Amino acid sequence: METFFQVCFGVGAAMTILSFIFGEFFAAFDLDLDLFDDSAAHFLPLGPQSIFAFVTVFGGVGMMTKGLSMPARWIAALACGLIVSFLIQRFVIGPLKEGESTTTIESEKITGVQGTALTSMKGEELGEVSYLIKGVRHRAPARSFDRKEILAGDDVVIIKVEKHINLVAKL
């Protein structure tokens, strides 16, 4: 049984490190297992990071409690794994996801928003615009929609978004 706890600890630690290094890999495949509504998700953390944390802590606590009986080791390992994965989900992953969702804006919601050109642009030149959505100021790359010159400081409106570049027109 000691080998089982060691394997859990090793696999969990390795997957945690790999997910930290290759985090975008998991995001690209949308491997987050949010199977429950928000209230249940606080009690049942099922994202990859939470699962890796659970397996790592479960294995580590199982190894550290050699002096206890096997049922006590399992109970301690399960309890600690669940507590740590819950805390990570609740106080790290959850707030990060909320912050991400408030700063990521869908291109449909940007269309028609007025802003200010931060840099000059004309033709195919890229520039930068600043705009306000829900009280949060955003800066983004931009190009003149009609390829006409737009000077820094000009008021603009976002016509559409193509490949993460705002196409803007001078007001």
Q: What is the pLDDT of residue 33?
A: 47
Task: Supply the pTM of this predicted model.
Answer: 0.55
The pLDDT of 127-145, averaged and rounded, is 90
The pLDDT of 118-132, averaged and rounded, is 92
Cα atoms in the Cβ-side hemisphere of radius 13 Å centred on 3: 0
> Domain spans of the chain?
2-103, 107-170
**Per-residue pLDDT reduced to its tens digit, 78-103:** 999 999 998 988 888 777 776 654 45
Pair 154, 142: CB distance under 8 Å: no
The pLDDT of 121-148, averaged and rounded, is 90
Pair 85, 54: CB distance under 8 Å: yes
**Per-residue pLDDT reduced to its tens digit, 45-59:** 567 788 899 999 999
Name which of 146, 170, 156, 160 is nearest 111 in CA terms: 160
Rounded distance between C-alpha atoms, residue 36 and residue 120, angstroms = 47
CATH code for residues 107-170: 2.40.50.140
Range among 100-114, 129-143, 147-161 with highest mean pLDDT value: 147-161
Q: What is the pLDDT of residue 44?
A: 54
User: Over pLDDT 70: what percentage of the chain?
Assistant: 80
Mean pLDDT (the chain) is 83
